[in-house]
């Protein structure tokens, strides 16, 4: 089983699309209604930055719980390292490269849940994943949004 958490309007074929409403499974993705070791893959694309910072460890523990041994957690989100590098090396700053990764795209902000709660560096996020119990973490090129601004980390349980 593959879980696509925080799917919004983007449904992926072959995945169980999970979100608060209008999904295959409607629930709060911070507390999943699945058994332990239910999924071979859990993916959250531009979702983790919307989790309150104080809840990050509990959420990662919950997602870890539903992943089977040797299963994967795939996270894609804005990367603070890339945002800082962009600011340092660019004279004219584009909002989608600086403000959006930090706060969210203003055209999509309808409720407080749509705001970004944190912008992680690669090392900080990898450290959180190891602390949650994942045995290895590696980086891939982002598949969605803006690869020059975002990161994609894959954690192996």
φ, ψ of residue 53 to 5 degrees: the values are -55, -40
Order of all β-strands in the sheet with 16-19: 25-26, 16-19, 2-5, 39-45, 67-78, 150-156, 136-140
The pLDDT averaged over each successive group of 10 residues in the chain (157 residues) is 96 97 97 98 97 98 98 98 95 91 91 92 98 98 95 98
The full length of the chain comes to 157
How far is 5 from 25, CA to CA, in rounded Å? Answer: 10
Pairwise CA distance, residues 133 & 152, whole Å:
18
CA 121 – CA 100 distance, rounded (Å): 15
Domains, the chain, ordered by start: 2-156 (3.40.50.150)
């Amino acid at each position: 089983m593959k879980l696509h958490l925080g799917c919004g309007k983007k449904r992926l074929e072959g995945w169980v699309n999970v979100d608060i409403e209008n999904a295959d499974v409607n629930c709060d993705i911070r507390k999943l209604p699945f058994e332990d070791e239910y999924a071979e893959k859990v993916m959250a694309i531009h979702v983790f930055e919307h989790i309150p910072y104080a809840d990050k460890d509990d959420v990662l523990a919950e997602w870890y719980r539903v992943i089977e041994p040797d299963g994967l957690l795939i996270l894609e989100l804005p990367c603070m390292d890339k945002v800082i590098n962009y600011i340092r090396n660019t004279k004219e700053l584009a909002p989608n490269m600086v403000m959006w990764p930090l706060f969210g795209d203003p055209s999509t902000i309808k409720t407080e849940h749509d705001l970004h709660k944190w912008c992680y560096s690669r090392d900080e996020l990898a450290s959180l994943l190891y602390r949650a119990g994942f045995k290895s973490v590696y980086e891939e090129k982002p598949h969605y949004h803006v690869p020059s601004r975002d990161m994609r980390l894959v954690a192996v349980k």
